[in-house]
Amino acid sequence: MSSDPHAFRAIDLSLDQCIKCNICVSACPVYAVTDLFPGPKYAGPQGGRFRMPKQPSPDWSVDYCSGCRVCNLICPAGVKIAELNALARADLVAQGKVGLRTRLRNKLLASSETLGKLGVPVAPLANAFLASTGVRRAIETMLGIHHRAPLPKFAFGRFTDWFKRHKCINMAMRKVVYFHGCATQYYEPRIGRAAVRLLEAFGFQVVVPAQYCCGLPLLSNGEFKAARAYHSRNVRSLVEYARQGIPIVGTSTSCTLTLKEEAPELLGMADEDTLLVARNTYDFNEFVLHLLEQGPLPGRGENDPQLIPIPMTLGYHMPCQYRAHRLGKPALEVLSLIPELTIVESHADCCGVAGTYGYKVEKYDVAMQVGVQLFEFTYNLGAPLVLCDSETCRWQITHATGLPTIHPAELLAAAYGLEVENPLADILNRAEAGK
Question: What pLDDT was estimated at residue 361?
Answer: 97
d(CA 276, CA 274): 5
Q: Is the dihedral of CA 291, 292, 298, 300 positive or negative?
A: positive
Collapsing DSSP to helix, strand or coil, 28 comes out as coil
Question: What pLDDT was estimated at residue 10?
Answer: 65
pLDDT band of 431, cuts 50, 70, 90: confident
d(CA 397, CA 300): 32
For 191-195, what is the mean pLDDT?
98
Q: Is 213 a residue whose pLDDT tops 90?
A: yes
Question: What pLDDT was estimated at residue 257?
Answer: 96
For 319-341, what is the mean pLDDT?
93
pLDDT band of 6, cuts 50, 70, 90: very low
Question: What pLDDT was estimated at residue 56?
Answer: 53
Average pLDDT, the chain: 91
pLDDT band of 418, cuts 50, 70, 90: very high
Question: What pLDDT was estimated at residue 52?
Answer: 60
pLDDT band of 4, cuts 50, 70, 90: very low
CB of 184 closer than 8 Å to CB of 398 = no
For 393-406, what is the mean pLDDT?
97
Of 56-70, 340-354, 410-424, the one with minimum mean pLDDT is: 56-70
Question: What pLDDT was estimated at residue 16?
Answer: 83
Domains detected in the chain: 5-94 (1.10.1060.10), 313-433 (3.40.50)
Q: Is 298 a residue whose pLDDT tops 90?
A: no
Q: Is 366 a residue whose pLDDT tops 70?
A: yes
**How many residues are given for the chain?**
435
Question: What pLDDT was estimated at residue 167?
Answer: 83
- The CA distances from residue 213 to 28, 89, 108, 119, in Å, are 28, 20, 13, 16
Q: Is 8 a residue whose pLDDT tops 50?
A: no
Of 9 and 61, the structure prediction assigns the larger pLDDT to 61
For 311-324, what is the mean pLDDT?
94
Q: Is 178 a residue whose pLDDT tops 70?
A: yes
Residues 219-270: tens digit of each pLDDT: 999 999 999 999 999 999 999 999 999 999 999 999 999 999 999 999 999 9
For 105-120, what is the mean pLDDT?
95
Question: What pLDDT was estimated at residue 170?
Answer: 61
CB of 370 closer than 8 Å to CB of 154 = no
For 68-96, what is the mean pLDDT?
90
Q: Is 280 a residue whose pLDDT tops 90?
A: yes
Question: What pLDDT was estimated at residue 135?
Answer: 97
d(CA 312, CA 432): 11
Question: What pLDDT was estimated at residue 432?
Answer: 84
Residues 129-154: tens digit of each pLDDT: 999 999 999 999 999 999 999 999 99
Q: What angle do helix axes 123-131 and 133-143 make, rounded to 10 degrees?
A: 80
Q: What angle do CA 198, 404, 353 make, to 5 degrees?
A: 100
Of 413 and 55, the structure prediction assigns the larger pLDDT to 413
CB of 306 closer than 8 Å to CB of 300 = yes
pTM (two decimals): 0.93
| Torsion, Cα of 137, 139, 143, 148 (10° steps) | -60
